Chain A
Amino acid sequence: MTDEPGKGPDKTQLEQREGGTQDPSLDVVAAGGAQTREVIGERQGMFGAHDSGDTSGYGGLRRPVELPGASTPPYGGWMDDVAGAIATATRDQGIEAAVEKVIVHRGEITFFIRREHLLSVAKLLRDDEALRFELLSGVSGVHYPGDTGRELHAVYHLLSMTHNRRIRLEVTAPDGDPHIPSVCATYPTADWHERETFDFFGIIFDGHPALTRIEMPDDWPGHPQRKDYPLGGIPVEYKGGTIPPPDQRRSYN
């Protein structure tokens, strides 16, 4: 162990880390595949607030909001093994269409799963010997109002302790039909996580044993983490000046 005083993270240590199997994220920094971009919206002007008149001259600025798009194989390192195992297992079950796209970004791999196939994919991810993702770390939601037809994203972080790997699943649903099947039967830990995502985003997890609000009061209207739900707050007055609530302040966007 290198705990001498004053010793920096020298080259040998970095090489050890890159060569080692302990940190899976570092093995694939130089992954092969090309990265596309996916436009999900447009950023207007320079400042977030739009109601106070444009005195900056930046009001006409239009910039696309781009997320990392689909990657093409090879993804690098163990990621190809996982992608290959998923491809084989889905083919065996006749659900090749389950994986919509794969994104490799910053050493993390994301599989976009079509919602109708989520349950079968979750089961084979847990049970397939080459995959063995025993632990579901959690379910998180993201709301992309500009991603038309697939505004609501449920994000699942999976951990394989057997192989020491992490992957991410992303499942989308449109605002008009916010249904995603519940993975509770495969991963019982999803119970509270799905309740939380329902509470904050209004995603209805079909088949969940008791999908009720968990953080907000039972009679709360709306789903607070959605982008169309205001943060709220009251203006603060001090010595004649007024500071508007945070979501109405002028700030860079």
Chain B
Amino acid sequence: MTATSNDPYAATETETTQGRVFTVTGQDWDSVVSGIAEEHDDKVVVNMGPQHPSTHGVLRLILELEGETVTEARCGIGYLHTGIEKNMEYRSWVQGVTFCTRMDYLSPFYNEATYVLGVERLLDIEDQIPEKAQVMRVMLMELNRISSHLVAIATGGMEIGALTVMTIGFRERELVLDLFELITGLRMNHAFIRPGGVAQDMPAGALDEIRDFVALMKKRLPEYADLCNANPIFKARLVDVGHLDLAGCLALGLTGPVLRSTGYPWDLRKSQPYSGYEDYDFEVCTWDTPDAYGRFRIRLAEMWESLKIVEQCVERLAGLEGAPVMIGDKKIAWPSQLAIGSDGMGNSLDHIRHIMGESMEALIHHFKLVTEGFRVPAGQAYVPVESPRGELGAHVVSDGGTKPYRAHFRDPSFTNLQATSVMSEGGMIADVIVAIASIDPVMGGVDR
């Protein structure tokens, strides 16, 4: 230790009952190595995260190492817990959308969709959702799948040092977020899918923007394949890393790209369609090596399939101009309408004229829905959707009141993250990063 004792960057060390503990802050490798050498013990427990650029979010990993081999890997989660489920119990059914959209922040439309589908099942209005709302939901979800997979590939690339993959991934994701902003007004946390339909109709010119985006993506997506698919460094880091076979996936409850990388074509959009997915032409992507590379290839292929679905949605929407996007039942449909005024977006003056000057009934509906909300018949529902990460489901319980009695989200990131141990134990420490990136957990969804 004498060599580094004057080093201002040396790691601070303390003696505890469990052995010597180093607090590492960077540029202090020498002092840690010499300290460990003095211990004459190969076994080191490394705490990685929760603030670490490679753990894919505020995830804490506790790794027991022998040399560079991981003998035990455990996750510490909960650093992003915000009590969203508890908060939803104190807000109306419609307000719940505003909360749950913030859970898995990379796929907000899926959070909204699974919750709203559950509420609609309890209301028994599944057959009454207008076609245009269904198509818009599917289109937004598939655009969202593209943006989410882009982030998965981008951050996964960044974590192994492939920075170009990161920059081009976020470049394209920005285009999707621009579309979201155009359609919903927000880049993230949209609260756009509401019980009974969606919040707003498509704005003028949106379909053309989406067509331009699809055309551009068809030129840009091959760049990822060119950069990565046969790249020897990329393959050396990903192939055979994070292996998990079908039996392991089912036992640990893994779904999504991880399950499909075993070659099993399980996709809820095909097997248990919702929101009219049975009307679209697309393939379920699988791969024959259940490793990080297979999951990367599946995500890449799924973006092509999503583009196909988006194209079909745009075609259908072009024929649905002026069609309703909210259920006709005035006791459920959110009454308020927004419009662009001279001072920005605000209450639609037409709507205010209608409720204040023309229709007493419309005023009553507006007042009752905004203050009280609607009541949902007692019972429970679980309508899962295929999110970019796997089966995302909301267990929605009603006691017949105006607020959710309980809303619990089965988040695929939460469940899939349990595979960290089996995917990384026995491997090298550098492969832990790749294995976790291949699960693609979003900590906002894990912790809720």
Interface residues of A (CB under 8 A from B): 1-9, 13-14, 16-17, 22-25, 40-41, 43, 65-68, 105-108, 110, 134-138, 140-143, 155, 157, 159, 161, 164, 166, 168, 187-189, 191-193, 196, 213-217, 224-225, 231, 246-247, 251-253
Map CB proximity to A onto B14-40 as digits: 1 under 8 Å, 0 otherwise. 000000000000000000000000000
CA distance A161 to B371 in the complex (A): 43
Q: What's the least CB distance linking A50 to chain B, in Å?
A: 15
Complex contact A157–B410 (CB within 8 A): yes
Q: Closest chain A residue to B406 by CB distance?
A: A142
B272 / chain A contacts, CB cutoff of 8 Å? 22-25, 164, 166
**B410 contacts A106, C-beta separation under 8 Å:** no
- A3 pairs with B78, CB closer than 8 A: no
Q: How far is the CB of A98 from chain B (nearest CB, A)?
A: 21
Q: Is the CB of A1 within 8 A of B379?
A: no
- Are A68 and B378 neighbours in the complex by a CB distance under 8 Å? yes
Say yes or no for B43: interface residue by CB 8 A criterion. Answer: no
Known: A66-B378, A215-B78. A7 touches B86 (CB 8 A): no
Q: How many residues in B have their beta carbons less than 8 Å from beta carbons of A?
A: 68
How distant is the Cα of A94 from the Cα of B430 in the complex, in angstroms?
Answer: 52
Residues of chain B from 399 to 416 with CB closer than 8 A to chain A in the complex: 399-403, 405-406, 408, 410, 414-415
Q: Which of A1, A166, A189, A225 makes the CB contact (< 8 A) with B86?
A: A225
Given contacts A157-B393, A224-B86, 9 further A-B contacts (CB under 8 A): A16-B278, A22-B278, A137-B384, A137-B391, A155-B395, A168-B382, A188-B251, A213-B78, A252-B401
Alpha-carbon distance between A29 and B89 when the two chains are bound, in angstroms: 29
Which one, B168-176, B225-233, B293-301, B311-319, is touching chain A? B311-319
Please name all residues of chain B whose beta carbon is closer than 8 Å to the beta carbon of A216 when the two chains form the complex.
78, 81
> Using Cβ atoms and an 8 Å threshold, which residues of chain B touch A142?
380, 397, 405-406
Please indicate the chain B residues that have their CB under 8 angstroms from the CB of A217 in the complex: 78
Asked whether, in the complex, the Cβ of A13 is within 8 Å of the Cβ of B410, the reply is: no
- Whether the Cβ atoms of B393 and A252 lie closer than 8 Å is no
Contacts of B90 in A (CB 8 A): 231, 246-247, 251
On whether the beta carbons of A157 and B83 are closer than 8 Å, the reply is: no
Distance of A192 Cα from B74 Cα, bound (Å): 12
Q: B281 near A: Cβ within 8 Å?
A: yes
The 8 Å CB contact of A5, one of B318, B381, B418, is B318
B415 and A138 contacting across the interface, CB-CB below 8 Å:
yes
* Pair B78/A192 contact, Cβ less than 8 Å: no
Whether B382 pairs with A66 at a CB distance below 8 angstroms is no
Q: How far is the CB of A12 from chain B (nearest CB, A)?
A: 12
Between A14, A66, A68, A159, the greatest number of chain B beta carbons within 10 A of the residue's beta carbon is seen for A159
A sample of 28 inter-chain contacts (CB < 8 A) reads A1-B279, A3-B312, A4-B319, A7-B316, A9-B131, A13-B279, A23-B272, A25-B121, A107-B121, A108-B382, A135-B255, A137-B393, A138-B415, A140-B408, A142-B380, A159-B391, A164-B271, A166-B382, A168-B380, A168-B382, A188-B252, A189-B252, A191-B418, A196-B414, A224-B86, A252-B373, A253-B401, A253-B403
Q: How far is the CB of B438 from chain A (nearest CB, A)?
A: 18
Min CB distance B137 to A, Å, is: 13
Distance, CA A215 to CA B252, complexed state (A): 19
- The reply to whether A137 and B410 form a contact with Cβ atoms under 8 Å apart is yes
Query: Which chain B residue has the least Cβ–Cβ distance from A20?
Result: B278
Q: Could you say which residues of chain B place their CB within 8 Å of the CB of A41? A: 399
Give the residue of A2, A40, A135, A157 whose beta carbon is less than 8 angstroms from that of B395.
A157
- Is residue B337 within 8 Å, beta carbon to beta carbon, of the partner chain? no
CB of B61, distance to nearest CB on chain A (Å): 15
Q: Is there contact, CB below 8 Å, between A140 and B410? A: yes
Query: Contact: A3 with B87, CB < 8 Å?
Result: no
- B358 interfacial by beta-carbon distance below 8 Å: no
Please name the residue on chain B nearest to A196 by beta carbon: B414
Q: A157, B382: Cβ atoms under 8 Å?
A: yes
Contacts of A193 in B (CB 8 A): 415
Given the interface pairs A65-B378, A137-B410, the reply to whether A252 lies near B397 with Cβ below 8 Å is no
**Within the assembled complex, what's the spacing in Å between the Cα atoms of A16 and B278?**
10
Contact: B124 with A106, CB < 8 Å?
Answer: yes
Find out whether the CB atom of A5 lies under 8 angstroms from the CB atom of B121. Answer: no
Q: Tell me whether B382 and A187 are in contact (CB under 8 A).
A: no
State in angstroms the CA–CA spacing of A191 and B406 once bound together.
21
Which B-chain residue is minimally distant from A41 (CB atoms)? B399
A192 partner, pick from B312, B316, B320, B418, beta carbons under 8 A: B418
Closest A residue by C-beta to B129: A9
A9 to B127, CA, bound (A): 10
- With a cutoff of 8 Å between Cβ atoms, the chain A residues found around residue B187 in the complex are none
Q: Is the CB of B393 within 8 A of A192?
A: no
Contact of A3 with B251 at beta-carbon distance under 8 Å, contacts A66-B400, A67-B399, A164-B271 already known: no
Task: Identify the interface centre among B279, B400, B408: most chain A CB within 10 Å of its CB.
Answer: B408
A246-B91 contact given A2-B279, A9-B131, A168-B382, CB 8 Å threshold: yes
Give the docked Cα–Cα distance between A17 and B447 (Å).
Answer: 36
Chain B residues with Cβ under 8 A from A134's Cβ? 250
Q: Is the CB of B384 within 8 A of A246?
A: no
Contact B379 A68 (CB under 8 A): yes
Contacts of A9 in B (CB 8 A): 131, 134, 276, 279
**In the complex, which residues of chain B have a beta carbon less than 8 angstroms from the beta carbon of A166?**
272, 382
B72 in contact (CB, < 8 A) = no
- What residues of chain A lie closer than 8 Å to B122, measured between beta carbons? 106
- Complex Cα gap A155–B399 (Å): 16
Residue of A nearest to B401 (CB): A253
Residues in chain B near residue A136, CB distance under 8 A: 253
Which residues of chain B are within 8 angstroms of A247 by Cβ–Cβ distance?
A: 90
Residues of B within 8 A of A213 (CB): 78
Given A13-B279, A191-B418, A6 and B319 contact (CB-CB distance below 8 Å): yes
Q: Closest Cβ of chain B: how far from A37's Cβ, in Å?
A: 8
Given contacts A66-B400, A140-B408, contact A192 B378 (CB under 8 A): no
Residues of chain A within 8 A (CB-CB) of B414 are 192, 196
Residue from B77, B280, B415 with most neighbouring chain A CB atoms (10 Å): B415
Name the 6 nearest CB pairs between A and B, nearest first. Answer: A189-B253, A6-B319, A5-B319, A138-B410, A140-B408, A1-B281
Q: Which A residues lie within 8 Å of B67 (CB)?
A: none
